[in-house]
Amino acid sequence: MIKTAIVGASGYTGLELIKILLNHPYFEIKGLFGSEGGERIENIYPALKGVFEAEIEKLDTNKLKSFDLVFLAVPHKTAMAVVKEIYGYTKIVDFSADYRLNQKNYEDFYCPHINPENLENSAYGLPEIFRDFIKRVSLVANPGCYPTATILGLYPFLEYIEKDVFVDAKSGVSGAGKGLKATTHFVKDNENFFAYNPVKHRHSIEIAEKTGLNVTFVPQLLPITRGMQISIYAKLKKDIDPVEVLKEKYKNEKFIRIKENPVEIKNVAGTHFCDIFAMKNGNMLFINSVIDNLLRGASSQAVANANLLFNLDESLALPKIAYVP
Amino acid sequence: MIKTAIVGASGYTGLELIKILLNHPYFEIKGLFGSEGGERIENIYPALKGVFEAEIEKLDTNKLKSFDLVFLAVPHKTAMAVVKEIYGYTKIVDFSADYRLNQKNYEDFYCPHINPENLENSAYGLPEIFRDFIKRVSLVANPGCYPTATILGLYPFLEYIEKDVFVDAKSGVSGAGKGLKATTHFVKDNENFFAYNPVKHRHSIEIAEKTGLNVTFVPQLLPITRGMQISIYAKLKKDIDPVEVLKEKYKNEKFIRIKENPVEIKNVAGTHFCDIFAMKNGNMLFINSVIDNLLRGASSQAVANANLLFNLDESLALPKIAYVP
Amino acid sequence: MIKTAIVGASGYTGLELIKILLNHPYFEIKGLFGSEGGERIENIYPALKGVFEAEIEKLDTNKLKSFDLVFLAVPHKTAMAVVKEIYGYTKIVDFSADYRLNQKNYEDFYCPHINPENLENSAYGLPEIFRDFIKRVSLVANPGCYPTATILGLYPFLEYIEKDVFVDAKSGVSGAGKGLKATTHFVKDNENFFAYNPVKHRHSIEIAEKTGLNVTFVPQLLPITRGMQISIYAKLKKDIDPVEVLKEKYKNEKFIRIKENPVEIKNVAGTHFCDIFAMKNGNMLFINSVIDNLLRGASSQAVANANLLFNLDESLALPKIAYVP
Amino acid sequence: MIKTAIVGASGYTGLELIKILLNHPYFEIKGLFGSEGGERIENIYPALKGVFEAEIEKLDTNKLKSFDLVFLAVPHKTAMAVVKEIYGYTKIVDFSADYRLNQKNYEDFYCPHINPENLENSAYGLPEIFRDFIKRVSLVANPGCYPTATILGLYPFLEYIEKDVFVDAKSGVSGAGKGLKATTHFVKDNENFFAYNPVKHRHSIEIAEKTGLNVTFVPQLLPITRGMQISIYAKLKKDIDPVEVLKEKYKNEKFIRIKENPVEIKNVAGTHFCDIFAMKNGNMLFINSVIDNLLRGASSQAVANANLLFNLDESLALPKIAYVP
């Protein structure tokens, strides 16, 4: 068995990691860590009672060094402070932004980087695109949910579209995390819909850096718990059949489903699938993708990356059965 | 008092008309009509019990001729069949598509027109743009909800943007009407979000005809009851301050509010307001508008148009107080 | 005009008061007050922009003395501290629990009372039951939302039922207020339903005191914004026709509607109505009532009481048109 | 492998059966049947694309006889017509009401029974109560969702309570099935809550027959997709500690969790768990249980019963991981 730790276990992505790993044949959760420690995970999430029960320990980088695999579901800055200590001792999947960007972009949008030497040692964890590189490193920067759904939609079209693209992105409220904020109050979100941080959202640099495009990115908040839908608008440079382009590019991918009709969040919520549809209006292109923001946009993608880090079958334990109806 | 009829009283827009006219100082509801007749409106909508009670009569164009004002909230085709009979006898606000388009566009997207002679006698009922013309006619084609929110957002920018625009439009489920369809089942819509009829949606021709733009229009279904949000993406031909452009164009409009931040459906649900925000990303423009789909997108706009038909204060009875919190 | 102040203007009930008073012919809002002061109400609730705009002042009891009417929408304890100062100078409608109970019950369930001398000077503001007394006082204790809906349901049956009753009460999330709590997080409430503080809820003493019954009260949280439904279960001592009993008792009440079928929140949301239904199963009685928790359960009831305090028509400005469909 | 058929595969409970059996080590889905046949399950539920794909055949009782196990998820009457044909050839779990009641109760509440000789050959499929009998039969009447959650809550208290009990039951909309009805329209249910068929609901006879109690049963519709919460109110004949009574009765049950606080739908949605809480107010008892209406209230309970029919570990394939957060 592969001795596995989850740091930041009490957040939504920590919870999803636990739920996935309960079905994993090799990764065995042997430690949960948090900034405080002391609480029990089944008290924080009573749904786990009788399913998985454990105490959360206070984060201790020395302890982490003894694990084979560490999932780091902590905020940026905290993440690189931990990685700096434990890199080399264990394989790491980092959920934060700390290793997703080149140093210049990171420092322009976030803060000074305290562990820049590991930027080149880390792989950007989108298996469909960087699978081979991920297998050769020991540190994976797990992509954000917005970039995952956007890049998977854009990737097959990069050679066919003009540089300026618009991304109208909608996320369920779980994407905002467990914290209590005005924008997570039920009365604020219910029967409402609104954009937040349009254009300036940090995730747009992640998309721009990975695709080389000029992205106008507008994130919006859907009054649902989980799931994310991306609508991408671009101009074609060439006449193509969009669905055929998608089918060709992803023909060997088990977790990408190409649709002939607009995609629905409900068909992927609870799973690792990314469903994609595209159509054109003359030379105007509409690309439409959906994922579960907490799974393909975070925790199941992390497990896929961890599977690759250990040269296991990438699909081990990845959830396929949606929360339908 | 102005003797007023509502044809199609049992639908959602009929209900909203009743609710508005209860507060109108001149328009007095003296007849409700429907395709069958015989039911009582307070049985269809028990919320009206003790507030407004009346029987719905079977549609009879001869009876309609005796009214001063007729609101026609019936499907296209039925609408023009009625207008053909009663035009000249009464003032008419038609909720259908029958008089919104020029004959060619109408027949390309709908069906042969049986009353083309009245196309030039009708005004397109967007008061902020066609106010003066509306005052001179006796037949108003009340715009669709999607075109209302989209055109009000685009209108101030028409001289500044390139011809190709993308419209990512989201509507609450009430926009789909009372009919029982797979897409109005609670279990289908709840915790879901999806586009329908992308690109090919009929409302896009209405927007294209009124703006002269090449519109790629994607309507999507929000899991809320009422309200609509439009995100428009365009390329600027000229460097402008988007919020200033909006403020200047609409400085005399009482029911358009220009915002410095993204707009929220919740602030306009229950009202005639259209809230608009815009910002740019280099030369990429994002325009963001919200309306109540059943009010500004249908029934309150119809009342505003009727006010103009009778040379009354346009704002009479228009709802201003939102369904907040 | 009657010079009116709202203390606690920034809360949901303060907002609803503003919305109602905008349609009141005599009560004119001349002051908004809050614990801090300095903010503008239209910034807190952008829906009010262009409708009602004003600065919130810091609470000052001397200023309040110069008003004709003060609505106190502040927490218990704060309320009695203010009333103690301003009683006699102005008419007062207090939204808190401070004057709803006799001293013993209050001190058992809340805290020591600092203004007990005014307990007998205050009326319990359920107009259907205490109308005459309300007209003779200058201080009204506006009932809680749970007691309002429960007592209005129970009141006609008091002579026919046994002492032990069960109340299964469900409230929309707005009843929990604007504060950020674990139980107001969207992700917690959405697709969920749960009881909170069963049996021990403070509102049960209010019901018990007013009805003389032994009440087992279970409040539960509905995943909706507004509205409240009460299911009451009791044993009949006598064979009666429940709907007839309701109709007889409330035959002169304009804002109570007796239904022949189970009641729906949607028919009263946005209004001052209380809809009630009842039926029996042998000698077991089921009573079913709905109100808008923020209106009949708070702000519109406060306006009804204020109308009575000034000997005005009780129904002035009370909202009748529901948030349907 | 055990050759398994699902009849009525296109309904919600058919879908849930498929989802569960994908994880079952022995039950292999070898046939899907429906009233028409011809459609593919992955077209009806696109979430199954790439996960489980199959054609639905037209129902044919001769074909069914060749299976080892048949799940019958069809309406009552249809069910007994099929059972009459195939009984003796295969083991059967029937989701309908046809074998849940004694003949008199069935015929009083439903219709004449065409297969009464099998009533005594069938077991009522609540494993916690009838486990031993289920193992000895080949036909299981799978209980309804309301009776499951209610009886599991009442069962430990039967000797301690008086005969008259009140059951306030709330179900998510999926309980109403896929059919298009006024009560499944999104606009009707969203932001609403209402009782339907109070007192007269058919499920109450099922509860009364199994418990011997006089049940006043009020089913209500929650604006959520899945999950069910039951609040039971009864009078104690004896002073007990309710939580201790529950713990003692269910101490060996892996899928019943006794809580110290009110239960939440969210903790059981997606699972076979039934969470139960109880407390008293003097001699008044409040019992509070939650289940997933489509799983413990239908499909996972059917699989538990099928496991028992084949003398397998009852918990095989039963889902434990909830749809949280």
pLDDT digits (tens, 9 = 90+) for A262-276: 999 999 999 999 999
Position A201 pLDDT exceeds 90? no
In a domain, C322, yes or no: no
| Residue D245 and residue D115 share a domain | no
| Residue B283 and residue B168 share a domain | yes
Q: How far is A270 from chain D (nearest CA, A)?
A: 8
What does the mean pLDDT of chain A come to? 97
Name the band, by pLDDT with cuts 50, 70 and 90, for residue B297.
very high
Q: Which of D183, D217, D233 to mutate to test the interface with C (most CBs of C within 10 A)?
A: D233
Rounded Cα distance, B49 and B55, in Å = 12
Q: What is the pLDDT of residues C45-61, one digit of tens each?
A: 999 999 999 999 999 99
In a domain, A322, yes or no: no
Name the band, by pLDDT with cuts 50, 70 and 90, for residue A203.
confident
Q: Which of B190, B264, B281 to mutate to test the interface with A (most CBs of A within 10 A)?
A: B281
Rounded Cα distance, D197 and A83, in Å = 60
Q: How far is D53 from chain B (nearest CA, A)?
A: 21
Give whole-number Cα distances, C44 to A181, A185, A198, in Å: 15, 15, 21
Query: Which subunits count as partners of chain B given 3+ CB pairs below 8 Å?
Result: A, C, D
Q: How many independent structural domains does chain A possess?
A: 2
One-letter-per-residue 3-state SS of D32-92: EEECCCCCEHHHHCHHHCCCCCCEEEECCHHHHCCCCEEEECCCCCHHHHHHHHHECCEEE
Q: In what order do the strands lie in the sheet with A122-124?
A: A56-58, A27-34, A2-7, A69-72, A91-94, A139-141, A122-124
The CATH number of the domain holding residue D48 is 3.40.50.720
- End-to-end Cα, chain C, rounded Å: 35
In a domain, D54, yes or no: yes
In a domain, C210, yes or no: yes
| Residue C95 and residue C205 share a domain | no
Q: Which residues of D217-231 are buried (b: 16+ CB within 10 A; e: fewer)?
A: bbbbbbbbbbbbbbb
Interface B:D, Cβ pairs < 8 A: 54
Position C266 pLDDT exceeds 90? yes
Give whole-number Cα distances, C162 to C215, C226, C243, D45, D280, in Å: 11, 32, 18, 52, 19
Position C216 pLDDT exceeds 90? yes
Indicate the residue type of A100. R
Interchain contact, C185 vs A189, CB within 8 Å? no
In a domain, C42, yes or no: yes
Interchain contact, C47 vs B225, CB within 8 Å? no
| Residue C150 and residue C287 share a domain | yes
- ipTM at complex level: 0.97
What does the mean pLDDT of chain B come to? 97
Backbone angles phi, psi at D200, to 5 degrees: -90, 0
Q: Which of residues B120, B155, B181 is at a domain's end? A: B120
Q: Are D74 and D86 in contact (CB under 8 A)?
A: no
In a domain, D208, yes or no: yes
Which residues sit opposite C229 in a β-bridge? C170, C290
Give me the mean pLDDT over the A157-170 stretch: 98
| Residue C88 and residue C211 share a domain | no
Q: Are D123 and D137 in contact (CB under 8 A)?
A: yes
Q: Which residues of A does the annotation mark as catalytic?
A: 145
With a pLDDT cut of 70, the percent of chain C lying above it is 100
| Residue C180 and residue C238 share a domain | yes
In a domain, C93, yes or no: yes
Extract the runs of DSSP E, i.e. beta strands, from D222-304. Answer: 228-235, 256-258, 274-281, 284-291
Size (chain C), residues:
325
The CATH number of the domain holding residue D217 is 3.30.360.10
SS3 A92: strand
| Residue A249 and residue A161 share a domain | yes
With a pLDDT cut of 70, the percent of chain B lying above it is 100
Interchain contact, A187 vs C191, CB within 8 Å? no
| Residue A101 and residue A28 share a domain | yes
pLDDT for res D201:
78
Position A202 pLDDT exceeds 90? no
Q: Which of C12, C182, C191 sits opposite A225 (nearest CB)?
A: C191
For residue D266, give both structure tokens: 């969210």
Name the band, by pLDDT with cuts 50, 70 and 90, for residue B153.
very high
Position C203 pLDDT exceeds 90? no
Instruction: Give the position of tokens 């209406």.
Output: D293
Q: Which of B187, B218, B227 sits opposite A325 (nearest CB)?
A: B187
How far out from the chain centre does Cα A288 lie?
17
Q: How far is B217 from chain C (nearest CA, A)?
A: 27
Q: Which of C187, C198, C282 sits opposite D262 (nearest CB)?
A: C198
**Which residues in chain C have their CB less than 8 angstroms from residue B22's CB?**
321
What does the mean pLDDT of chain D come to? 97
Q: Which of D194, D223, D231 sits opposite C168 (nearest CB)?
A: D231
The pTM for the full model equals 0.97
Give me the mean pLDDT over the D199-212 stretch: 92
Q: Which of D173, D180, D182 sits opposite B181 (nearest CB)?
A: D180
Interchain contact, C281 vs D196, CB within 8 Å? no
Name the band, by pLDDT with cuts 50, 70 and 90, for residue C260.
very high
Closest chain C residue by Cα to residue D229: C193
Q: What is the pLDDT of residues B11-22, one digit of tens each?
A: 999 999 999 999
Interchain contact, D225 vs A49, CB within 8 Å? no
Interchain contact, C263 vs D194, CB within 8 Å? yes
Interface A:C, Cβ pairs < 8 A: 54
With a pLDDT cut of 90, the percent of chain D lying above it is 98
Interchain contact, B254 vs C178, CB within 8 Å? no
In a domain, B311, yes or no: no
| Residue D153 and residue D287 share a domain | yes
Q: Which residues of D does the annotation mark as catalytic?
A: 145
Closest chain D residue by Cα to residue B175: D187
Q: Are D31 and D6 in contact (CB under 8 A)?
A: yes
Closest chain D residue by Cα to residue A225: D325
Give whole-number Cα distances, B12 to B17, B32, B244, D168, D187, in Å: 9, 14, 36, 32, 10
Backbone angles phi, psi at A289, to 5 degrees: -130, 150
Q: Which of A51, A267, A323 sits opposite D323 (nearest CB)?
A: A323
Domain span at residue A183 reads 146-293
Q: Which of D323, B80, B127 is nearest to A269 (CA)?
A: D323
Residues from B in contact with C at Cβ < 8 Å: 12, 15, 19, 22, 45-47, 49-51, 174, 178, 191, 225-226, 254, 257, 259, 264, 266-268, 270-271, 273, 294, 320-325
| Residue C164 and residue C101 share a domain | no
Q: Which of residues B86, B120, B154 is at a domain's end? A: B120
Which residues sit opposite A125 in a β-bridge? none
| Residue D166 and residue D53 share a domain | no
Name the band, by pLDDT with cuts 50, 70 and 90, for residue C278.
very high
Residues from A in contact with B at Cβ < 8 Å: 164, 166, 168, 170, 187-188, 190-196, 198-199, 214, 216, 218, 220, 222-227, 229, 231, 233, 235, 262-266, 269, 279-282, 284, 286, 288, 323, 325
| Residue C288 and residue C150 share a domain | yes
Q: What is the pLDDT of residues D45-76, one digit of tens each?
A: 999 999 999 999 999 999 999 999 999 999 99
Backbone angles phi, psi at C225, to 5 degrees: -80, -50
Q: Which residues of D81-98 are buried (b: 16+ CB within 10 A; e: fewer)?
A: ebbeebbebbbbbbbbbb
Position A255 pLDDT exceeds 90? yes
Position C200 pLDDT exceeds 90? no
